[in-house]
Structure 1
């Protein structure tokens, strides 16, 4: 039984870029790097999708949404901490 291999993001990007350039076919790249052609095609598709979002500004929008979500979560943590402290003091008096 073969073991599943993990590839680094740099390796995937390198292969996807080579596939996008098109100097070698997917089969040639697969034999050169010992990776299945389907994997290279998948990485190539992911690279194309990522490239579109990088130029459309979606990546920046996602980052801003993440920052806003973090701010909201920090506010919620603060609120829950205050409520917890209040309830601890209320039940300590009993």
Structure 2
């Protein structure tokens, strides 16, 4: 979705309806991707050395919260 948002071929509202996700959430993902994109291939070490851990419960809460906020 973030890649689709970066392409700017469709509005965030259209993408939100297409993927059933809030345009606000897509916007946040787009900004995060654009922020991290330059350094994606510059990392050294293995994938297990990542400093950030993914909190899947938080991500699901954002997606679930997006549905009830519309």
TM normalised by structure 1 equals: 0.44
Report what 1:22 is aligned to: 8
Higher normalized contact order (CA 8 Å, seq sep 6+, divided by chain length): 2
Q: Give 1 or 2: higher helix fraction.
A: 1
TM normalised by structure 2 equals: 0.58
- 25, 32, 37: which is aligned to 1:51? 37
Once the 2 structures are TM-superposed, how far is the Cα of residue 46 of structure 1 from its aligned partner?
A: 1.2
Distance 1:20 1:27 in 2: 14
Distance 1:23 1:54 in 2: 24
User: Which consecutive aligned stretches of 4+ in structure 1 deviate over 2 angstroms post-superposition?
Assistant: none
What's the RMSD between the two structures over aligned residues? 1.7
Structure 1 unaligned spans of 5+ = 1-14, 67-94
User: Higher Cα Rg: structure 1 or 2?
Assistant: 1
Once the 2 structures are TM-superposed, how far is the Cα of residue 29 of structure 1 from its aligned partner?
A: 0.3
